[in-house]
Each structure stands twice: as structure tokens, then as C-alpha cells.
Amino acid sequence: MKTLIRTVVSLAAIGSLVACSSIVAPKSTAGSGSAAVAQTPKTHPPIHVRIGLALGGGAAKGFAHIGVIRVLEANGIVPDLVTGTSAGSVVGSMYASGMNGNELLKRANRLDETDLADFTLSTRGFIKGQKLADFINAQVGNRPLEKLAKPFGAVATELDTGRRVVFRVGNTGQAVRASASIPNVFLPTVIAGKRYVDGGLVSPVPVSAAREMGADFVIAVDISARPRAGSATGYLSILDQSVNIMSVAALGQELKQADVVIRPQVQNIGSTSFDARREAMAAGEKAALQAVPVIRSLLMQKEQAMAR
């Protein structure tokens, strides 16, 4: 009997060894001798659409830009870079320095015309422009363009060639002064031996500059006045209308490159009507509010297109 039990146990042990030897480990996909590793799906970084804000020229109508910026920010639409022409460069430089819309509003309400005007007697203009440059430098903490919180480009016209120039480095105040030097009002701004005047002559709303700076999506703010019969009566209004007539073709070329164009209704505000600043800012807010749904929809489409 004992012999029979030993035989059964021995047979069971041999069966177990045979069974164990028949179990085959799954082949490793990582190569010979490597442990099996779970495959994790590849993840792609979220798509970021670089938004450019192109602020056009329009003298005192430029207060409308502040209203636009406040509404965009309130709706979570924050530009990555900013370009400005003339009045747009004044607001744009301060915004790019790190101020938000509410800070711009406070400074606009405190602004006095005498902060910007230094009169002179000259056949080339009656405002020097140095006071404007000093004002801007004070507002941005005397930082050069390349040290501002957001990339910023100030657009001016080289007087002797008619060439468009985008200032992206150097003295911020001087660049804004050049961009806003309305011919026959401001003296031409001299930088590195070259003379510059208002950028509105060649780029009334600097959309192309925003594209060149890397914007995937450009929001343009057009506050330029269209030529109208009987609207030009005084010296400055005649000059303003003359500039608008000369820049009509350039304006069309710029705006067709924008994804969205916001047009605040500021045509009834004069070029020197600083007392209408609240009206201009309110017009900017109203126009931007109407544009927000369109901007969101087009931004979503752009994100989807870039993700493909």
C-alpha cells in the first residue's frame, strides 16, 4: 500500500512539473529580456492661437481702442501681441507695457491735452512731439520696446522714401512719437538720422505688421474716418480728411488681411475732441461687444484648423 501511495505522489509531482513547463510567458514588445510595458497614447500639447491686436490711427478717436480692449479682456480674449499706428500706437504701447483695460481707462480720464502738446513755430509743423515721447516713456516705466510685457510694434512712415517701418526695439516714446507725427502738425521725428511721420499714410490699421510678428489670428480696430462731403471745414479737419483720402487704398489692403474688423462708430468725433473721450470709449465697447460672438466662433475654427 505504501508503495502504491509513493507511486501516486511521484506521478502527481511529475505532472506538475510538466504542466509548469508548458506555460509560455507572453512575448515582450520591448525586446528580449525586457519586462512588458503598457503602451501610453501620445498626447499633443493644446493648440494656442496667437492673437494679434492691430490698433488703427484716428487722433482723439483713439480713445475707442480702450473700450475695445476692456470688452475683449472681460470676455477672456487676450491678445498675445499688439501693433499700433498713430493714436493706436499711443494706446497700444501702454497696453503692451502690462496695463489692463481698466488701468488704461483711469489714465485716459486723467489725461490732459497739455500733457502731449509742446508748441513750436516752424514751417514743418507746430508741435514738436518730444512731450508725447516723454509722456509715453513715463507711462511704460522708461522700458524700451523689446522689454514691454507683450510684443509691440509701432508703425511709422519714413518721410524720404515713403517706406513703412515697424519699430520693435529701441526707445518706446520715440517710436510712438514717430508713428503719431501727423504731417504739418507734428515735426517729423528723427531717429538714427532718418525722418519719420505718421504711419497712417502707409498702414492706417497695422494688420500686416501683426502678421509679420507671428499672429495667427488678427483683430483689427478701424477708427479711421471715411471722406465725407462737407465734413472738412477747419484746418485740422481738412488735413485729417486729406490723410484719409490718401490712405484709402492702403486701408483696404490692410483690412483684408484681418480675421475680424471692429469698427467703433466714432465718425462724428473730431480729431482734437479730447472732451469726447468717454463717448469714444463707449463706442469702442459697443462695437467690441457686437464682435465677441464672431471672434469666439472664428477662433474655434482656427484652433480646429491648426490641430489638423
**Closest residue by Cα to residue 77 from 103, 56, 100:** 100
The residue ranges of DSSP E strands in 97-167, in sequence order, are 152-158, 164-167
Judge whether 112 counts as a catalytic residue: no
Q: Is 236 exposed, middle or buried (0-12, 13-18, 19+ CB in 10 A)?
A: middle
Catalytic residue among 86, 97, 224, 247: 86
Q: Letter for the amino acid at 125? A: G
Check if 86 is active-site: yes
Measured in degrees and rounded to the nearest 5, phi and psi for residue 222 equal -105, 110
Query: What stretches of 86-137 adopt beta strand conformation (E)?
Result: none
3-class SS at 205?
coil
- 261 vs 180: CA distance, rounded Å: 22
At 218, the amino acid letter reads V
Cα gap 83→26, rounded to integer Å = 61
For 262, phi and psi rounded to 5 degrees?
-100, 130
The residues pairing with 155 across neighbouring beta strands, listed in sequence order, are 85, 166
Which of 80, 198, 216, 222 does the annotation list as catalytic? 198
- Backbone φ and ψ of 96, nearest 5°: -65, -20
**Is the separation of the CB atoms in 185 and 150 below 8 Å?**
no
Catalytic positions, written as ranges: 86, 198
